[in-house]
Structure 1
């Protein structure tokens, strides 16, 4: 599978870096391709290093503004004119989406792919790897939106919240098999 991962471009504490490394290693060992923001910075760089070390393929999609942060070991690097084009290209190239910890950019990417899925504009599985309960508040808000009628589809049809790397990848691989059948 080509798996798009949204995550922070900042260097983070081990409580967030370790789960990212675990997920990246599993992704590479199982022969999947990482499709990501193309940066060598922070968690993005950690993710790419570990996928590559485990034998996975790297497809970076980078915005021209951040070309100076390009990951030099990518198997393929695509430049886009702006952030909107980058988000579209990331989703287009992916069979599934995983969200690791991140800031406003990561939250923007997650909400966009959820909104597109809500409207039936894609059916790709979306997994939030909820390291250290980082996304507990978001999950609570989404649950409230569902309960109060703001979501036209059940929340569990839109997104899966995984507690660890194994369950995140297992969900994706099962969803991938189901959509291929």
Structure 2
């Protein structure tokens, strides 16, 4: 399975890197391919290292203005013209999506993926990996959107909020059989 992971390229605290490394090892051990933003820095590097060390493959999609940070040892690396093309390529190359901790770029990717799913443009399973409660506020906001009629689908049909990597991976593997 090709699993797209949206996440930060920032250097983060161990409370985020340790669970990310563990999740990456699960992906690699299970023989899955990581599809990611291609960066060899920060949390992106941690996840790519973990997947590769555990025997998984790496498919990166960088963007022209960040190509200098692209991982040299990926099995495949594509450089997109802009962020819109990058997001489209990441979605096209994946069977499932996991959203990990990140900043505005990760949030942009997450909301676009969910918006496309809401409109039936893809039916790929999406998991929001809520490490250390990082996305608790977003979860509350999504529940409010659902309760007040802003979501045409049940929240559970759009995204699963998972507290840990094993739960996230089990959901994806179950969803894709």
Q: TM-score range by the shorter chain?
A: over 0.9
- Residues in 2 aligned to 1:151 and 1:74: alpha-carbon distance in whole angstroms: 38
Task: State the partner residue of 2:44.
Answer: 44
**In structure 2, what is the Cα distance between the partners aligned to 1:14 and 1:100?**
14
Partner Cα distance (2:91, 2:168) in 1: 18
Superposed, which structure 2 residues align to 1:11-160 within 5 Å? 11-160=11-160
How big is the shift at 1:72? 1.1
Alignment partners' CA distance in 1, 2:85 and 2:33: 20
Cα root mean square deviation, aligned: 0.4
Return 5+ residue gaps in structure 2 as ranges: none
**TM-score of the aligned structures, taking structure 1 as reference length:** 0.97
Superposition misfits of 4+ residues, deviation over 3 angstroms: none
Q: Deviations over 1:79-104 (max 9, x none)?
A: 11000000000000000000110000
Match of 1:171 in 2: 171
Distance 2:3 2:125 in 1: 10
- Counterpart Cα distance in 1 of 2:125 and 2:59: 19
Equivalent position of 2:161 in the other structure: 161
The Cα shift of 1:73 comes to 1.1
Offset from partner CA, 1:104-125 (integer Å, 9 cap, x none): 0000000000000000100000
